Amino acid sequence: MNSAYEIHPNVYWVGGNDRRIERFENMFPLTNGVAYNSYLIMDEKTALLDTVDAAISAEYIENIKSVLQDRTLDYLVVNHMEPDHCANIEEIMRRYPSVQIIGNAKTLQFFNQYYTMNMADHFLEVKEGQEISLGSHVLRFYMAPMVHWPEVMVTYETTRGILFAADAFGAFGALSGNLFADEVDYDSYFLDEARRYYTNIVGRYGSQVQALLKKLEGLPINMICSLHGHIWRGEMISYILDKYDKWSRYIPEKKGVVLAYASMYGNTENAVLALASKLAKRGVKDMRIYDVSKTHPSYIISDIFKYSNVVFASPTYNMHLYFPMDSLLRELSVLNISNRKVSLIGNHTWSSAALKTMTELVNGMKNMEIVGTPIDIKSSLREDREHELDALADAISESLKD
């Protein structure tokens, strides 16, 4: 049985969901699976926009067949050549031997690196702004390099104002029947997973996302169809464009504090909990505390993108920074996190390294402000140093008033 869905007259969602997958890219936990979206336009010519991951091939082919019926497929547009979207290209070529594959020069190069079928004979290379008419629908192509790979492009259907956006505006999480973001309680349930997807998958490429947003400025957009997550229409278009603008400029969405700590025996944790209590007593709201050894970094990273302030607290380990904290900070650096207010707490018993390394790593990031005087605990924080924690709490609460 198929689950194809007409999202606009003669435009169909033919994708699918994978709820069995444990980790996206074998790295990011997926508690609610992921959607692989693909779209099919029925006109004088038929056009499929991207394919899906190998895990859901069977239902995908069934969806396509249910829409095409006895017609053939004329075009396959490949906006993105990452395997979660291109694993079925060869299957499409086998089933529809006359199909023309639309992409750019890098699309073909990447296809040949991953697959063995001869795509060159089917390939129609397009350039920036080029248009292809399907009859009453017209597809226009815009290059969007590094959103999220170099070959990425987006396809704009000019007559209905539908943007097929590749990974952009996507999210983790499988779809539950409702395909449109305005049909679900997006803010309270899905937004966190959209942010975790953006920040961890595309977060590094803020300037390239900004370049794409500039290209899209002025285009009448009535619908955004991403390759993951819900479809955007109506008021939800400005909602997600606003989020993307903030995330890609590394601007916090909210004032608040993420306290990310590492702790071997509970002493660094104890200092962080005491700090959080002092912050609460000073009226600070919306704090998130994470043990970096326990919580997958993708969740912590997502919240660090969301909030204005972050506290990193970690012990020294083997005369280096405790590894999970070291890994978190390096990942944040790769993702180009910037514009945050950072407070630091180190800990050591005989040789201090954690605070020094955390300071160096944070100073290597762009426009990070150190708030308050960093504290270097010796094994456990004693009452005679509580004033240092009070001073740090004062500095953080003051910085939230800026």
Q: Cα 126 to chain center, whole Å? A: 27
Sites for ligand FEO among residues 370-399 (CB under 6 A): none
In the bound state with ligand FEO, the residue whose beta carbon lies nearer, of 41 and 227, is 227
Sites for ligand FEO among residues 147-166 (CB under 6 A): 148-149
Q: Parallel, antiparallel, or unpaired for β 375-378 and 341-348? A: parallel
85 belongs to the binding site for ligand FEO (CB under 6 A):
yes
123 three-class SS: strand
Position among 18, 59, 74, 167 found at the interface with ligand FEO (CB under 6 A): 167
| Residues 247 and 204 sit within 8 Å (Cβ to Cβ) | no
Whole-angstrom distance, CA of residue 85 vs CA of residue 151: 13
84 belongs to the binding site for ligand FEO (CB under 6 A):
yes
**Which of the ranges 80-88, 308-316, 335-343, 390-398 carries the binding residues for ligand FEO, by CB under 6 A?**
80-88
Which run of H or E residues covers position 39?
A: strand 39-42
In the bound state with ligand FEO, the residue whose beta carbon lies nearer, of 90 and 390, is 90
196 belongs to the binding site for ligand FEO (CB under 6 A):
no
| Residues 244 and 213 sit within 8 Å (Cβ to Cβ) | yes
**Which of the ranges 82-90, 95-103, 135-143, 178-186 carries the binding residues for ligand FEO, by CB under 6 A?**
82-90
193 belongs to the binding site for ligand FEO (CB under 6 A):
no
Whole-angstrom distance, CA of residue 19 vs CA of residue 388: 48
CB of 37 to ligand FEO, least distance (A): 9
| Residues 38 and 154 sit within 8 Å (Cβ to Cβ) | no
The residue nearest ligand FEO at its CB is 82
The 204-233 site mask, x for binding ligand FEO (CB under 6 A), equals -----------------------xx-----
Q: Which amino acid is at 383?
A: E
Q: Parallel, antiparallel, or unpaired for β 162-164 and 100-103? A: unpaired
**Which of the ranges 10-18, 42-50, 76-84, 205-213 carries the binding residues for ligand FEO, by CB under 6 A?**
76-84
80 belongs to the binding site for ligand FEO (CB under 6 A):
yes
CB of 45 to ligand FEO, least distance (A): 26
Phi-psi region of 124 (alpha: psi -120 to 50; beta: other; left: phi over 0): beta
In the bound state with ligand FEO, the residue whose beta carbon lies nearer, of 96 and 141, is 141
Sites for ligand FEO among residues 106-125 (CB under 6 A): none
49 belongs to the binding site for ligand FEO (CB under 6 A):
no
Contacts of 46 (CB under 8 A, 6+ apart): 40, 68, 71, 72, 73, 74, 75, 134
The CA distances from residue 236 to 54, 160, 181, 243, in Å, are: 30, 17, 7, 11
Which residues of the shown chain bind ligand FEO in the complex (CB under 6 A)? 80, 82, 84-85, 148-149, 167, 227-228
